[in-house]
Amino acid sequence: MVTNVSEFQWLAKEKLPKMVYDYYASGAEDQWSLQENRKAFERIRFRPRVLIDVSKMDMSTTVLGYKISMPIMVAPTAMQRMAHPEGELATARAASAAGTAMTLSSWATASVEEVASVGPGLRFFQLYVYKDRSVVEQLIRRAERAGFKAIALTVDTPRLGRREADIKNRFVLPPGLSLKNFEGLNLGTMSKTQDSGLASYVAGQIDRTLSWKDVKWVQSMTTMHVLVKGVITAEDARMAVEAGARGIIVSNHGARQLDYVPGTIDALEEVVEAVGGKIPVFLDGGIRRGTDVLKALALGAAGVFVGRPVPFALATDGEAGVKKLLDILRDEFELAMALAGCTTISEIKRCHVQTEADRTALAVAKALAHKAPTYSRL
């Protein structure tokens, strides 16, 4: 019986081919940031309040004007049919059943139309900008016709990070699978190479000229909200606001791009402060516990996205696995809220957590307070 989110990864490792497991699990180069995405959460402590009536709890919230059952959403993870035959279709059904949002990857093994066909649900579409901008326009219009409500514009991938596991495995999509959103466009396959097939594909297709002006270009084509995904600094957060973004997703691409960047929870507060409440800020990267969700919200996130655990849950038990994953996080988050003394999302405040920086500042203040001034007597 699975009792926590991390167990899905252990079970998936036993089921998946090595190339597939390594693709989902690995990060860039030394994988320092991959570890830091988790360790950064571990450095944050709670400051719970007690003697508060928590007999009635409400975890619901709104995202971009849409109500969801909890501030825990599904992040885009590519090629989910490598994990399970139903792939993204199973994930879409599980997210809908949980009353939350799912984000479909551009590199999905099910198309936007196929995902829409499984039934209603709040869905976002993650977008890479290709050199052929007409392809990008087609994707945006197809997503909007299919009922998707937001574009998660990925801005941290002008080139693919060096993922050494994929290089060693010469990663390529398994036979019978394709990037479904690009079928018929001569863009849906990747070739076996001496390197990673995905890295070669990205080098040939993704537009390295992408810049801030393109946020407005994407927004000009759609009524969907455009979220900028991949921001981890205050400088870029302010640029995103100026460029007209409707929201920011603090993300380091699951630590799969530039290594030695901060864990996303360490970058969150800087981005939140720079935005100043003008647009919502979300977080992805490293979410494994309901306590992680509470920490992120206390530091200013409007919600979180869960990435890697989704394909691991898919590999473990398909749609039921993803539903179980979301149920575990929901239950853990509700418990964490209650024990911290919060009954609604709006009650979660900065005062409920203490970061490493807080502890350092407190130690310095105490040291200064205990250092009595000395005077020379004439």
Three-class SS state of 211: coil
284 is known to lie in a ligand binding site: yes
> From the candidates 225, 253, 352, 370, which is the catalytic residue?
253
**76 labeled part of a ligand binding site:** yes
120 annotated as a binding-site residue: no
Strand pairing category for 353-354 and 45-46: antiparallel
- Residue 300 among known ligand-binding residues: no
- By CB atoms closer than 10 A (0-12, 13-18, 19+), residue 1 is exposed
Could you tell me the two tokens for 311? 């394909």
- Give the relative orientation of helices 309-340 and 87-97 as an angle to the nearest 10 degrees: 20
Q: Determine if residue 9 is labeled as part of a ligand binding site.
A: no
Flag whether 256 is marked binding. yes
Do the annotations mark residue 296 as ligand-binding?
no
Q: CA-CA distance, 48 to 217, in Å (whole number)?
A: 45
Binding residue per annotation — 105? yes
251 is in an annotated binding site: yes
Please indicate if the annotation marks 286 as binding a ligand: yes
Q: How many CB atoms lie within 10 A of CB 231?
A: 27
**Angle CA(219)–CA(109)–CA(153) in degrees, nearest 5?**
20
In the numeric block, which tokens belong to residue 148?
């998707």
The reply to whether 253 belongs to the active site is yes
Q: How far is CA 84 from the centre of its chain?
A: 21
78 labelled ligand-binding: yes
The verdict on whether residue 285 carries a ligand-binding annotation is: yes
The residues, ordered by sequence, that sit 6+ positions from 265 with a Cβ below 8 Å of its Cβ are: 37, 40, 41, 44, 283, 285, 286, 292, 295, 296, 299
Annotated binding site for FMN: 76-78, 105, 126, 154, 229, 251, 284-288, 307-308
* Active site residue ranges: 253
- In the annotated binding site for glyoxylate, the residues are 23, 128, 163, 253, 256
The annotated binding site is made up of: 23, 76-78, 105, 126, 128, 154, 163, 229, 251, 253, 256, 284-288, 307-308
